[in-house]
Amino acid sequence: MVQQMGGHAYLIHGATMDGEGYPLAQTTRAAPATVSFDNRTVQWLLDNYDVAEGVSLPRSTLYAHYMQHCRQARLDPMNPASFGKLIRSVFLGLRTRRLGTRGNSKYHYYGIRIKADSPLNQMVPDDTPVAMRQATQPHRRIAKSSGADGGDAGNAMKTEAAATSQDTEQHKQYLGSPEEAIPQNDLTIDSKNLPQGVTMSDANLFDTMYKEHCEAVLDLVQNLHLNLIENLWQTFWRKTNVSVDPEVEAKLPKEKLLKLAALSEVQEFVKEADYSFYQALLELLVPDVLRPIPSTLTQTIRNFAKGLETSLRSSIGGIPEAMISVKIGAVSAFSQTLRRYTSLNHLAQAARSVLQNSSQITQMLSDLNRVDFANVQVLLGVSPYILLFMMP
């Protein structure tokens, strides 16, 4: 909720990526509303899903399927919140539940399943990271070509998709389980500081929408759909030439969004939320620096980290410069820490392989015994200029 406090902004105290994360909590989602939609998407939903008791699907999985459908049909995608409302409009009575063990739960649509004859059962979304696709190549069983009918080639593609999907599921077991990741800090602002045309209801709506935005990003990261995060950034900050759901624009027009983003109180709210959220994502992606993880997963995370700042910067152009600095500062710290953690993990695995090899340990001990530590000590106490003179 937005709280009114005369003349006081809600500030961050000591937010760093290497420090302790802020306390986190869930947010309550708004009730679904009627949305306008494309008939092709409705038909696609009816062709591929049906209702059933006692079954569920992760929201992020359905959204990944939907994004692939949009790419294939050349449609402008809705954001996750609007897509959720569309699903509820098509499949009446659908419910949302948070399922899974404590600390590792995810939001699911309860009462819906993929049809048995749907191609989605064999489909791997196009957003699957390239490094993860390549990881399956040494283990794939490739069928021989059978000429013009393409039957064996089709079977090979299904086998390939199944192998990739299996590797993705295997990679998920190496992810951590932050107990809470959605920021719980509230936007605290004095109504007197609001610009003309912006109300406390608008500020309160921004608070809610930003936390829902973080929740949507979390769903993608938990399912390793990392390439879709840029799309979420673009739709939330209303990037120019990117399609925005009319209902979202009606609730909080871009003009009001930009006015709110220019306020120092809102910038502090976003800064605190981002640092705590990225701390949780860090613990999710690299829960233990010393724990062995597949090299393909490490490379996927590193590629994700390397492109974060560039991707975010291209997604939020047009918003106030002060807010851009806040967003870039937080994501840059996250990116650097993520790369450092993956490098340390790689080093730890290399050291582990050496220490588990008895012959290499014996050789290392022999090499150490040949070191003249007394001479080294003398050299360390000598002037650097003398050392240079002594060098051949």
Q: pLDDT tens digit string along 158-170?
A: 444 444 456 667 7
φ, ψ of residue 106 to 5 degrees: the values are: -140, 155
* Euclidean distance between CA atoms 188 and 207, whole angstroms: 10
- The predicted model gives 283-290 an average pLDDT of 90
Q: What is the pLDDT of residue 273?
A: 96
Q: Distance between the two ends of the chain, CA-based, in angstroms? A: 71
- 286-to-186, 293, 346 alpha-carbon distances in Å: 28, 9, 12
Ramachandran bin of 323, using left for φ above 0, alpha for ψ from -120 to 50, beta for the remaining angles? alpha
Secondary structure string (H, E, C) spanning 92-109: CCCEEEEECCCCCCEEEE
- Domain residue spans of the chain: 39-122, 169-353
- The predicted model gives 22-30 an average pLDDT of 35
pLDDT of residue 16 exceeding 80: no
Q: What is the pLDDT of residue 60?
A: 83
pLDDT of residue 10 exceeding 80: no
pLDDT of residue 353 exceeding 90: no
Radius of gyration of the chain measured on its C-alpha atoms: 26
Q: What is the pLDDT of residue 77?
A: 86
pTM of the model: 0.57
Q: Which residues pair with 96 in a beta bridge?
A: 109
- The predicted model gives 9-37 an average pLDDT of 37
Q: What is the pLDDT of residue 256?
A: 96
Amino acid identity, residue 324? Answer: I
The fold of the 39-122 domain, in CATH, is: Arc Repressor Mutant, subunit A (1.10.10)
Q: What is the pLDDT of residue 247?
A: 82
Which of 80, 87, 130, 76 lies closest to 233 in space, CA to CA?
80
- Contacts of residue 29, defined as CB under 8 A and 6 or more positions apart, other chains included, come to 96, 212
**Range 199-221 burial, b when 16+ CB lie within 10 A, else e:** eeebbbbbbbbbbbbbbbbbbbb
| pLDDT tens column, 53-106 | 767 788 888 888 998 899 888 888 888 878 888 888 888 777 777 654 444 456
